[in-house]
Structure 1
Amino acid sequence: MEEHKRDREAPEKIDIFRVLQEFFKAFCRLAWLPLLLSVACGGLLGLRAWRSYTPMYASQVTFTIQMADSSLADIGGSTSYYNKATAEQLTKTFPYLVQSELMQKKLRQAMGVAWLNGAISAQTVDNTNLFSLRVTSTSPQDAYDILNALTEVYPQVADYVIGNTEMNLLTVPEVAAEPYNDFRPVRSICKGAVLGAVLGLAVILLYAFTRRSVRGPEDIRKHLNQTCIATLPRVTFKRRANAIDKTVSVRNPRVGAAFQESVRSMRVKFLREAQKQHAQVVMVTSTLPGEGKTTVSANLALTLSQNGARVILVDLDLRKPSVKRTLGIKTPSRGLPELLSGDGTDVRAALLPIEKSRLTLLAGDRAAADPRQQLNSRRLGAILDELRQEADFIVLDTPPCGILADSAGVARLADCTLYVLRSGAVEVSHIVDSLQFLAESGTHLAGCVLNGAQGGQGGYGYGYGYGYSGYGGYGKYSSHPKNKAEEH
């Protein structure tokens, strides 16, 4: 107890490897999120660039300025001395003169407009009397007209500052044929796409960082305060012809020695717990569908029968019976729905023996019409009492208790429970809620079975994996069992 208390009080260390595992798994399921955000952000920035784009046109002219007063000429009749002496003055005054309020007023008067649809910029070449004027506007004609007016008005305004001047145009202004700022949304779209992808990856990383799931036996002890009695490795089959046996059971040699050895270890530890509790009827359940409870049920029953015990495996998942499919059995048979409906079917007559084993099945081929009512009927307890006379162990494959309330009623009839956890599949908080709900039934929890462990967990180092399907029908029963506890 003190050790568990210290574990709870100690701050949890950040396991980078675990975070990366969660990130990779989350990315495999949520790879669409970065892609979606990339497309959305790229489209939004592209749309923003398109809506904010305004085509701009420019007209430009280059010219020289010199004084019109010939008295400043030297003996040889040249004004070069003046041009050099006044170049610095012209360079300083020219930009301010062009953009002055006086110039703006003169231009508006010359053009007969209330405001100028354009911006004027001026440049000079150092130590020369070479200048350039550039007018930009949303209208190519307005830019051209303002530039022409500017070349006419400038000498008039310059008279107030530097005296009589002359402008000698070196280039001829023209009406711009196309905007100088072409619309190029590619850069904006690429920036948005990168931003969206980074944002999506950050969301997945945050999800992986905050998500707590069970991946190893130490997590079961630390987060659930329970005992892990077995760790089953993942099992997968190579893609060959469909004719090969793909049943995940200890009777199939294709599953590998690691899986078979893990199941035998589960049998040994289960028998130890069953002897302590004098348990004959064991219920196998999980939090959610797809965690492998039916696979664990079938293999526990098989390995117990291989050990010499008489075992009956009961398919109590009346909504989605799957025991026969898991074992690869196609022989028609009747199950609990027929027995609970009271159609006169004898319990012993409904049992289906498995060849070359001491295992018997009570499993049908169809789902029950009203599984909740049948599982709550007194007839179920009477059937289990009859089965106790026929076997040493009875293994009950029940629905997941994390989304259905069926398991709570069955748990009261069982002697102990095995809880199956698929590695990394369910949040710890959801598992804790389900275990607390299950504990209210008073059943003894014999331990947890960690299923689908990655290579290196459990000491086998194999990369097995098997999939699950056919659980879509649970969707309409997806309310949490705590909300249905009053019905049992």
Structure 2
Amino acid sequence: MEHQGLNNGVNRTEENEISLGEIISALFKWWWLVILCTVLAALGAYFYTIYTYVPVYTASASMVVNSKQLKIVGQEAVLTNDVNLSAKLVNTYTAVLTSNRVMELVAGELDLPAAAISPYVSVAPVRDTEVLRIFVSNPDPLLAAKICNSIMHVAPTAISSTVEVGSINVLDNAKVPEFPNAPATFRNVGVGAVLGLMLGLGIVFMLMFFDRTIKSGDDVKNKLGLTLLGSIPYLSPKARKDQGQGQGAPLVNSDQVGFGFVESYKAAGTNLRFASAVTNAKKLLVTSILTGEGKSTVAVNLAITIAHTGKSVLLVDCDLRKSNMHGVLELDLEDNQGLAAVLNGACAAEECIVFATEQGIHVMPNGYIVPNPSELLGSEKMAALLAALEKQYDYIILDTPPAYLLTDAVALSVYANGVILVVKQGCAKVDVINSAQAAFENAGVRIIGCILNGIKYNQLGAFYQSRNYERFLGDYYKNYALTNKPAQEAAAASDKN
């Protein structure tokens, strides 16, 4: 049993800090949600305005404030006009005209309750003049005009009895309005759109704040404290379908995956070789936290990438619960053959190892599901098998089940030289990943590093998609790929022959 030193990565940062780049990324990711909230709120405001609209008629009249005063100069009476006094009288008369006293006088004339009149009345001065305008809005156009004219009738008496300075003169009386006021559709739609925009942005920020998943290489270093071995771009379902590799797993030896995809695995393989060379790690366990993170695809592609450097690589399907490695590589496998059969003593290891010609790797698949996978993987038979196999190969890649809630990976990890953790962008939460890390650390197993899988570059604040990765790499790499394509095709043809 081999116990390696624990991972000595960066300290984990627990704070959920949000950078400007993450905000921009979230807006690019959730732009449709912001627009949807804005449009729905604007439509809601529009239909609310249309269906709740009640025609209201506004009658208006105007009066002039007279601020002239009589002064005695010597023995003569002189009329003076004070501009400042006019401004003060306009404000005073406005308050008087909307007072309860005036409303009661109008109510007495029209035989209406005062409380039913005041909500419809408003007074506004005309700017830079001494003119006051009285507005009365009411669903009944005739009543609106009557109230307005009644105010004009009682106003001089009410003002003269309460304000001793100045006077008012009626400029024009109200007429019965012919057309109702237009509904405030534009204003309400604008307000609704602004509120919807604020709601959409609020939802986006809430999603960002509560999003505890890994989204970038910085998250791997800061939140997990792990070394980033590589970043694998996302391939769309269409690209997977076009690739046509068995169950749809994109492989680096295929011509359909794109040059950038292959280069990302070359970079990950190089980093892995340097990281494993420190402790001469040969037996590498590949696992993920949850299902669907692409650990098996990563394991296969890492094995192929390392094999292309001239190393002998054995890929072992240690997922005894859901074996699919033979399907991914399209290998012919007889029943009751594979790792489980070797551990149960049904056949020898050499009989269960096949060579995948197109990929250039040796593979020990698994032929059937067993009821006690964690016990078999953690058994002395497994330790003895790995000890024998490591003498024959430069690297052994162990593809295991997800580490969260399953003990298979942890049980097997004590026989490996290190663990490679596959994390899919935006999938597992940090707390869940940390719990799996703690399980490996408690077992005394070294986590060599992390491979961030399925990266969508538009979620990192970039303005390109992974399908445009070659454009990002530049014309130099494009020309290199095109120049070497005939040589690659010739080599592939010779291998088949």
TM-score by length of 2: 0.61
SS of aligned partner of 1:400: coil
Larger radius of gyration: 1
The change in CA–CA distance for 1:211 and 1:297 in structure 2 (over 3 A counts) is: closer
SS of aligned partner of 1:174: coil
| Pick aligned residue for 1:411 from 406, 410, 413 | 413
The change in CA–CA distance for 1:212 and 1:313 in structure 2 (over 3 A counts) is: closer
State the partner residue of 1:194: 197
Spell out, residue by residue over 1:71-130, the C-alpha distance to the aligned partner (whole angstroms, 9 max, x if none).
Answer: xxxxxxxxxxx9999xx99x8797677556554333333322332523445678999998
| Pick aligned residue for 1:258 from 263, 275, 288 | 263
Cα displacement (A) at 1:315: 1.5
Instruction: Work out the CA distance in 2 between the residues paired with 1:24 and 1:100.
Output: 54
State the partner residue of 2:341: 339
The change in CA–CA distance for 1:361 and 1:189 in structure 2 (over 3 A counts) is: same
Cα displacement (A) at 1:350: 4.0
Spell out, residue by residue over 1:32-82, the C-alpha distance to the aligned partner (whole angstroms, 9 max, x if none).
Answer: 54345445655776788789977643223468999xxxxxxxxxxxxxxx9
- Correspondence 1:315-394 to 2 at 5 A: 315-327=317-329, 329-334=330-335, 339=341, 348-355=350-357, 359-364=361-366, 368=369, 373-377=372-376, 382=381, 385-386=384-385, 389=388, 392-393=392-393, 394=396
Spell out, residue by residue over 1:250-279, the C-alpha distance to the aligned partner (whole angstroms, 9 max, x if none).
Answer: 54466647356436535744763564x6x5
State whether residues 333 and 363 of structure 1, in contact with CA within 8 Å, keep that contact through their aligned partners in structure 2: no
Which deviates further from its counterpart, 181-190 or 298-307? Answer: 298-307
Q: How many correspondences in the alignment?
A: 424
Cα displacement (A) at 1:190: 1.9
TM-score by length of 1: 0.62
Instruction: Work out the CA distance in 2 between the residues paired with 1:124 and 1:355.
Output: 92
State whether residues 285 and 417 of structure 1, in contact with CA within 8 Å, keep that contact through their aligned partners in structure 2: no
SS of aligned partner of 1:113: coil
State whether residues 214 and 421 of structure 1, in contact with CA within 8 Å, keep that contact through their aligned partners in structure 2: no
State whether residues 118 and 136 of structure 1, in contact with CA within 8 Å, keep that contact through their aligned partners in structure 2: no
Q: What residue identity is the alignment partner of 1:58?
A: T
Residue identity over aligned pairs, in percent, reads 16
Spell out, residue by residue over 1:158-201, the C-alpha distance to the aligned partner (whole angstroms, 9 max, x if none).
Answer: 89689xx9998855621554136645421222221332243345
The change in CA–CA distance for 1:343 and 1:51 in structure 2 (over 3 A counts) is: farther
State the partner residue of 2:148: 147
Q: What residue identity is the alignment partner of 2:355?
A: P
Cα displacement (A) at 1:325: 4.5
Which deviates further from its counterpart, 31-40 or 135-144? Answer: 31-40
SS of aligned partner of 1:376: helix
Spell out, residue by residue over 1:382-413, the C-alpha distance to the aligned partner (whole angstroms, 9 max, x if none).
Answer: 3664575466244320012135333122224x
Q: What residue identity is the alignment partner of 1:362?
A: M
- Correspondence 1:59-458 to 2 at 5 A: 59-61=59-61, 98-99=97-98, 102-119=101-118, 120-121=121-122, 133-150=134-151, 153=154, 173-174=175-176, 177-179=179-181, 182-184=184-186, 185-203=188-206, 206=209, 215=217, 220=221, 230-231=229-230, 234=233, 242=242, 248-249=250-251, 251-252=253-254, 256=259, 258-259=263-264, 261-262=266-267, 265=270, 268-269=273-274, 272=277, 275=280, 281-302=283-304, 311-327=313-329, 329-334=330-335, 339=341, 348-355=350-357, 359-364=361-366, 368=369, 373-377=372-376, 382=381, 385-386=384-385, 389=388, 392-393=392-393, 394-412=396-414, 414-422=415-423, 425=426, 429-442=431-444, 444-445=445-446, 447-452=448-453
State whether residues 41 and 196 of structure 1, in contact with CA within 8 Å, keep that contact through their aligned partners in structure 2: no
The change in CA–CA distance for 1:390 and 1:197 in structure 2 (over 3 A counts) is: closer
CA RMSD between the two structures: 5.7
The change in CA–CA distance for 1:40 and 1:405 in structure 2 (over 3 A counts) is: farther
State whether residues 65 and 168 of structure 1, in contact with CA within 8 Å, keep that contact through their aligned partners in structure 2: no
Cα displacement (A) at 1:464: 6.2
SS of aligned partner of 1:317: coil
Instruction: Work out the CA distance in 2 between the residues paired with 1:320 and 1:301.
Output: 20
State whether residues 59 and 136 of structure 1, in contact with CA within 8 Å, keep that contact through their aligned partners in structure 2: yes
The change in CA–CA distance for 1:381 and 1:196 in structure 2 (over 3 A counts) is: same
State whether residues 340 and 380 of structure 1, in contact with CA within 8 Å, keep that contact through their aligned partners in structure 2: no
Cα displacement (A) at 1:434: 1.6
Q: What residue identity is the alignment partner of 2:109?
A: A
Gapped regions of structure 1 (runs ≥ 5)? 67-81, 456-461, 467-488
Q: What residue identity is the alignment partner of 1:196?
A: L
State the partner residue of 1:78: none
State whether residues 267 and 304 of structure 1, in contact with CA within 8 Å, keep that contact through their aligned partners in structure 2: no
Gapped regions of structure 2 (runs ≥ 5)? 1-7, 67-77, 458-463, 469-497
State whether residues 39 and 193 of structure 2, in contact with CA within 8 Å, keep that contact through their aligned partners in structure 1: no
Spell out, residue by residue over 1:354-397, the C-alpha distance to the aligned partner (whole angstroms, 9 max, x if none).
Answer: 2378743232577x3x66x3332489653664575466244320
